[in-house]
């Protein structure tokens, strides 16, 4: 069955760049910023041979920053849209990097990090719990499931999403809703980090962001959950 993002796979980057124009930054900047934030929050990822699952990898825009910031990491990406996976494959020569969601190949082994960046607001909320329950057993004992989402409490974020052609299906999830969802799935402890406060015109303030992560006005936020089944895997 064709998926919404199949339609946009050919010009996804152009459309996203257009929708981000008001921020002064482009998609590459935001992809790098996401992984740079993870590197700041979890410096061990930069040194350790982690397995990193990019859930809802789209056209694979996180592949380069992940392999750049986390040089020891094994990156695996999966996406519901087969066409987006095809696009992503043009980035990597390895056969074991990008997989269609329906394939079982990405479900082999465990992951130290499962990262879903701007994916869950495209998934009907009736499926959220089911997907989290499917992802939970794929974590290593100390693994982390990290959601990166648009913050609906930020009016500029809401405007960008409203105007974006491939966000027509998007239902933004508030930090509190995400927290409740994860709690229902049995995840703890949970940490929320707010991010993406400043446009390019205020770039000189970006270095202050680590001190603002408690402030619920960031354009985006991360929800970080530890594996609750720490004893489950021998
Ligand atoms: C806005 S894009 C984000 C892509 C990428 N994560 C990024 O940060 O650039 C959302 C992606 O989520 C994918 N998606 C939607 N529903 C999904 C699901 N149930 N499972 C996996 N991927 C899904 C879409 O096909 C699309 O490629």
Torsion, Cα 95 102 51 66, to 10 degrees, reads 70
User: Ligand 1: which residue has its CA nearest to atom 19?
Assistant: 123
More confident residue, 144 or 20: 144
pLDDT the model gives residue 233? 46
Determine the distance from the C-alpha atom of residue 185 to the mean position of all C-alpha atoms in its chain, rounded to a whole number: 19
Give the residue-averaged pLDDT of 101-120. Answer: 96
CA of 81 to the centre of ligand 1 (A): 8
Architecture per CATH, 4-226:
3-Layer(aba) Sandwich (3.40)
User: Ligand 1: which residue has its CA nearest to atom 20?
Assistant: 80
Distance CA 225, CA 66 (A): 19
Question: Ligand 1, residues 10, 16, 36, 79: which to mutate, most atoms within 8 A of Cβ?
Answer: 79
More confident residue, 149 or 163: 149
Give the residue-averaged pLDDT of 152-156. Answer: 96
Distance CA 120, CA 114 (A): 13
Share of the chain above pLDDT 90, in %: 76
CB of 77 within 6 A of ligand 1: the answer is no
Output the average pLDDT for the chain: 92
CA of 79 to the centre of ligand 1 (A): 6
Give the residue-averaged pLDDT of 189-207. Answer: 94
CA of 231 to the centre of ligand 1 (A): 30
Q: Quick one: which atom of ligand 1 is closest to the CA of 4?
A: 25
Tell me: pLDDT of 129 over 50: yes
11-49 per-position pLDDT tens digit: 878 878 788 888 888 889 999 999 999 999 999 999 999
pLDDT the model gives residue 46? 98
For residue 151, give every residue at least 6 positions away whose Cβ sits within 8 Å of its Cβ, in sequence order, or none.
157, 172, 174, 175, 194, 216, 217, 218, 219, 220, 221
pLDDT the model gives residue 234? 45
Where residue 94 falls among pLDDT bands split at 50, 70, 90? confident
pLDDT the model gives residue 2? 61
Tell me: pLDDT of 9 over 80: no
Where residue 174 falls among pLDDT bands split at 50, 70, 90? very high
CB of 164 within 6 A of ligand 1: the answer is no
Q: Quick one: which atom of ligand 1 is closest to the CA of 54?
A: 6
Distance CA 185, CA 180 (A): 9
pLDDT the model gives residue 231? 53
């Amino acid at each position: 069955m064709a998926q919404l993002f199949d339609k946009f796979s050919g010009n996804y980057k152009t459309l996203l760049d257009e929708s981000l124009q008001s921020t002064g930054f482009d998609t590459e900047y935001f992809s790098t910023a996401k992984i740079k934030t993870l590197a700041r929050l979890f410096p061990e990822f930069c040194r350790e041979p982690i397995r990193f699952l990019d859930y809802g990898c789209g056209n694979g825009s996180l592949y380069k920053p992940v392999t750049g910031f986390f040089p020891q990491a094994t990156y695996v990406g999966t996406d519901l849209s087969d066409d987006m996976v095809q696009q992503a494959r043009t980035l990597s020569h390895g056969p074991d990097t990008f997989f269609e969601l329906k394939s079982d190949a990405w479900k082999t082994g465990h992951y130290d990090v499962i990262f879903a960046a701007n994916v869950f607001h495209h998934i009907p909320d009736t499926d959220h719990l089911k997907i989290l329950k499917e992802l939970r057993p794929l974590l290593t004992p100390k693994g982390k499931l990290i959601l990166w989402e648009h913050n609906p409490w930020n009016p500029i974020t809401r405007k960008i999403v409203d105007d974006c052609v491939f966000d027509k299906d998007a239902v933004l999830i508030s930090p509190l809703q995400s927290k409740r969802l994860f709690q229902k799935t049995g995840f703890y402890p949970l940490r929320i980090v707010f991010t993406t406060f400043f446009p390019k015109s205020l770039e000189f303030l970006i270095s202050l962001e680590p001190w603002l992560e408690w402030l619920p006005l960031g354009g985006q936020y991360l929800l970080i959950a530890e594996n609750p089944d720490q004893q489950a895997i021998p």
